[in-house]
Structure 1
Amino acid sequence: MQFIEPKNKNADKVDWLISEQVREIVKNYAEYCEYDESEVVDKFLKNLIDDKKFIDWVNGIRNNKRMIKKMGLEERMED
């Protein structure tokens, strides 16, 4: 049995400017996936932590422990 996870842990409303094209892509992709738009953006942006160069950059920053913790990368940095 798998338990239900909360959808938006610590979600904050953000004030970003994005192009009309990106808004349309997100809107249509959300409809396709049957998620709401914020869920699509949340899931997609979490893929950024798979960028090895980004992880190497984070790992190279001095005093990065708080950043690593907030991004949930503790296990990945132990490797």
Structure 2
Amino acid sequence: MEFIKPVHVERSNVEWQVTDRIKAIVKYYSEYTGISENEVLDRFLVNILEDPDFKQ
């Protein structure tokens, strides 16, 4: 897993329905890294591309 390094990139807002548990995890990780919750999700979800079956 690749850990997040702060970066400033313009993003659009997206509405997602996630559990309170996931919201809390993202919130705390955002506070820990000092980057926005949107950026945490954006960078974390890119890791899906590491799944070799998904790329096919």
TM-score (norm 2): 0.77
Residues 51 and 32 of structure 1, relative CA distance in 2, 3 Å threshold? same
Unaligned runs of 5+ in 2: 1-6
Distance 2:37 2:21 in 1: 14
Q: Shift in Å at residue 13 of structure 1? A: 1.9
Question: Over alpha carbons, which structure has the higher Rg?
Answer: 1
Unaligned runs of 5+ in 1: 57-79
Aligned to 2:9: 7
The structure, 1 or 2, with the larger RCO (C-alpha pairs under 8 Å, 6+ apart) is 2
Aligned residues: 50
Aligned-pair RMSD on alpha carbons? Answer: 1.5
Q: Shift in Å at residue 12 of structure 1? A: 2.5
Structure number with higher helix proportion = 1
Distance 1:30 1:22 in 2: 12
Q: How does 1:53-68 map to 2 (within 5 A)?
A: 53-56=53-56
Q: Shift in Å at residue 6 of structure 1? A: 5.6
Give the match's secondary structure for 2:12.
coil
